Amino acid sequence: MIDLLTKLPSRDALEKSLKDAKYPMLFLVDIRGFKEINLNHGDENGDKILCSLASTLLDFAQKNDMQAFRVQNDEFALLKDSAFDLDVAERLILNLTNTISSQTINCNAEQIPIKTNIGISFDLNDSLKKASLALSLAQKENQPFISYSQFAIKLLEEKEENISKEIETAINSEQILPFYQKVVDFKDSVLYNEILLRLSLTDSLQPPKFFLEIAKKRGFYTTIVKLLSKKISNIDIKKGINFSFKDLNDDELFLYLLQTYKNSNTVFELHSEGKAISKKIVAKIAKLKESGIEICLENVKDDSELEIFDKSMIDFVKVDGDITRLLDICDETKATCREILQKCHELECKSIAMHINSASSLNEAKEMGFDYFQGFFFGKPTKLFEGKQQ
């Protein structure tokens, strides 16, 4: 339960510690604008920033009787198990924000200031969920920190209501747009194009992170899937489309997908959202295969995720980007990849390395024996027009 890059305990370790804590005081720390920093300065400097912040948080934790964790991507956590004391809490918050704000990282001879948003929960029940809600509000309001409270959640719900209205407007005006990002082989020939969903607003394009969970909560999700399917049905390319195992458990949606994409030269990229793969899901996947739909398991982090499948049941395995992007700097990730690639060989399916953003990452992935590759090194997501690839 250790994060390979930062050497901090992982999300699994955090969840275990939260179960054991009697008086959890939880801080979720997210680097503001990290995606842009990573794109502008490269993966190596992005990893340098993550490791530097991890070191800062670990030092802070040790000085304040806390535990430090890397939750996911650029999100970290600090946990203190102590009876609530307002003075202690305020001092911790002030000291933490001051500690982080004083930090800069040298990237390509440029000093990059580290700015964060922090979500805080003092509750025993659903601590991680509540801290996440507070962090979401801090990000939306561009505040250094926000603690979970009914007032804060009311503001978040108001934001959600506004986003819900924007989703409805986009649906009514058919501004749910398909973009694509190619998956290629050793010679840069395109295997298929992954379809990426975007919502078009008056002055911006928003990725699913902005709206998809709210769309599901408000009952718009199936409508969005059908609208997207309508837009891409006549595009004469091999397509990859993202769905979750939860989508397959929705019998009405599953039947629609089965009928719409039967023998359509389409790959379904399926992700588990952290849930175990059940025999029911395996049976649904078998039905998709019988209908001529190819199957790609996405964000695979461990070969154990493939144990439930028989030979030839799946066509592709996408190894999680947090693993493949570290291939050129971390021996542990190489060992993990070797195990996954060996399992792919046993299952007679092909492997895809995600998040290939540099020549060094590509070279390492090729040397490891990956079959296909995807990432910004081959091009950013591009708008897909009906009837042709732009």
Which among 148, 124, 122 has a CA at the least distance from the CA of 136? 148
**pLDDT, the chain, mean:** 87
- Domain range 11-148, CATH class: alpha beta
Task: For residues 253-267, give the mean pLDDT.
Answer: 94
**Whether pLDDT at 254 is above 90:** yes
**Whether pLDDT at 352 is above 70:** yes
Q: Residue 17: what pLDDT?
A: 93
Per CATH, the number for 165-383 is 3.20.20.450
376 pLDDT tier (thresholds 50, 70, 90): confident
331 pLDDT tier (thresholds 50, 70, 90): confident
**Whether pLDDT at 157 is above 90:** no
318 pLDDT tier (thresholds 50, 70, 90): very high
Q: Residue 387: what pLDDT?
A: 44
d(CA 37, CA 49): 9
d(CA 45, CA 36): 12
Q: Residue 388: what pLDDT?
A: 44
Q: Residue 202: what pLDDT?
A: 61
390 pLDDT tier (thresholds 50, 70, 90): very low
Task: For residues 351-373, give the mean pLDDT.
Answer: 91
Where are the chain's structural domains? 11-148, 165-383
Q: Residue 383: what pLDDT?
A: 83
Task: For residues 341-370, give the mean pLDDT.
Answer: 92
Task: For residues 124-135, give the mean pLDDT.
Answer: 88
| pTM listed for this prediction | 0.68
**Whether pLDDT at 42 is above 50:** yes
Task: For residues 91-106, give the mean pLDDT.
Answer: 82
d(CA 59, CA 66): 10
| Alpha-helical regions (H) of the chain | 11-20, 34-63, 86-101, 127-141, 150-172, 208-217, 221-232, 245-249, 251-260, 279-290, 321-324, 331-347, 359-368
- Residue 78 vs residue 358, higher pLDDT: 78
CA 383 distance to own-chain centroid: 21
**Whether pLDDT at 133 is above 60:** yes
What are the tens digits of pLDDT across the range 236-252? Answer: 889 999 999 999 999 99
